[in-house]
Structure 1
Amino acid sequence: MAEVKGLRVNDQIRVREVRLIGVNGEQAGIVPTIEAVKMAAEAGLDLVEVAPTAKPPVCKIIDYGKYRFQMEKKLRDSKKNQKQQMMREIRMQPKIHDHDLEFKSAHIKKFLEGGDKVKVTVRFWGRELAHTELGYEVLNKVLEKLGGEEACTLEKKPAMEGRTMSMTLSPKQKK
């Protein structure tokens, strides 16, 4: 049998003795590897090294194909249940027009419904920096168009960072 993902099987185990776990899960103690392989062959199963870093390595007498299938299934299920939350960014200017604000708000809503966090950024150019209150107004309008804090969670309130003002929104947790 080929070596799959670091698991050594039967004759691939190259240590002198192993800690053996029998067919029914009972501890057989420390046994020479050759004897453990023979015991597995007599039972019609495989000797699989399950803990190679232990001293001595821990081996089980099991059906290797079935064991590998169960491990891969467990890995698939854990990946399926994991949702990677992405950080999306929407940029705008303090002098944004109403239609553009509607359009960007719709995108933000779509991102939040998809389970992603959204960083809404207002970039100031030149003398706009003297009127940061316009940035606060734009961010508050966005929050208003999304339905206030009932529709999403305001993770980071609007704050200036150099020439940009930003706030971070995350989707409302479902109960």
Structure 2
Amino acid sequence: MILNEKIKAAEVSLTGVNGEDLGIVDTKVALQMAKEQGVDLVCLSLAASPPPCQLVGRTNYKEQLNREKAKQRKEEKGRKVKELRLSAYIEEHDYDTKKRQAEKILAAGDAVQLTVRLEKKESQEAKKLIEQLVKELAHCGVQEKGIQVSGKQVVAVLLPKEQ
């Protein structure tokens, strides 16, 4: 990050504090404007000629950079898939709790894997339970694939809805 007097170019393409375009300005004039407004002159890129610069408060600029870096890191990681385990004969209170947890996870932008572990011959009850939960979570999530019934478990994956 090149600031204030460290900018060596004779003239810069200047952007104001509120994003307004101030045109191509002599570097000394831009520095004077920055001092008058109590902000810093920040060079955004050295690749262009004249280099684009912006008048910004130093703390605001650093916070903005940190937010952008954090957003990029999150996008690189991708979304997490969090598993919620249920039983086929779940009580209503526990069901409501799991539903709220799923809503919270989907609202945070992560995917939810709903898993019902099977004991004996519960596959029909488990499938009905997951179908009901998927239907009730339709306002905040979209089912990725169909409900998968394997030997020992029933699974459905919900992805968050894009706003």
- What is the TM-score with the length of structure 1 in the denominator? 0.50
Q: Evaluate the alpha carbon distance shift between residue 123 and residue 77 of structure 1 in structure 2; reply closer, same or farther with a 3 A threshold.
A: same
Q: CA deviation at 1:172?
A: 0.4
Which of 105, 108, 111 is residue 114 of structure 1 equivalent to?
A: 108
Alpha-carbon distance between aligned partners in 1 of 2:96 and 2:66, rounded to the nearest angstrom: 42
Other-structure match for 2:136: 145
Structure 2 residue matching 1:112: 3-state secondary structure: helix
Other-structure match for 1:172: 161
Alpha-carbon distance between aligned partners in 2 of 1:76 and 1:100, rounded to the nearest angstrom: 37
What amino acid does structure 2 have at the position aligned with 1:77? Answer: E
Mapping 1:145-164, distance limit 5 Å: 145-146=136-137, 148=138, 150-164=139-153
Mapping 1:20-169, distance limit 5 Å: 77-83=68-74, 84=77, 85-125=79-119, 127=120, 130-146=121-137, 148=138, 150-169=139-158
What amino acid does structure 2 have at the position aligned with 1:138? Answer: L
Alpha-carbon distance between aligned partners in 2 of 1:99 and 1:74, rounded to the nearest angstrom: 44
Q: CA deviation at 1:76?
A: 7.4
1:131-150: CA deviations, max 9, x gaps? 3110111101212332x3x4
For this pair of structures, how many residues does the alignment match?
99
Alpha-carbon distance between aligned partners in 2 of 1:109 and 1:141, rounded to the nearest angstrom: 14
Q: CA deviation at 1:75?
A: 8.8
**Larger radius of gyration between Structure 1 and Structure 2:** 1
Does the CA contact (< 8 Å) of 2:84 and 2:113 recur in 1?
Answer: yes
Structure 2 residue matching 1:162: 3-state secondary structure: coil
Gaps of 5+ in 2: 1-7, 10-63
- What is the TM-score with the length of structure 2 in the denominator? 0.53
Q: Evaluate the alpha carbon distance shift between residue 74 and residue 120 of structure 1 in structure 2; reply closer, same or farther with a 3 A threshold.
A: same
RMSD value, Cα: 2.3
Does the CA contact (< 8 Å) of 2:113 and 2:158 recur in 1?
Answer: yes
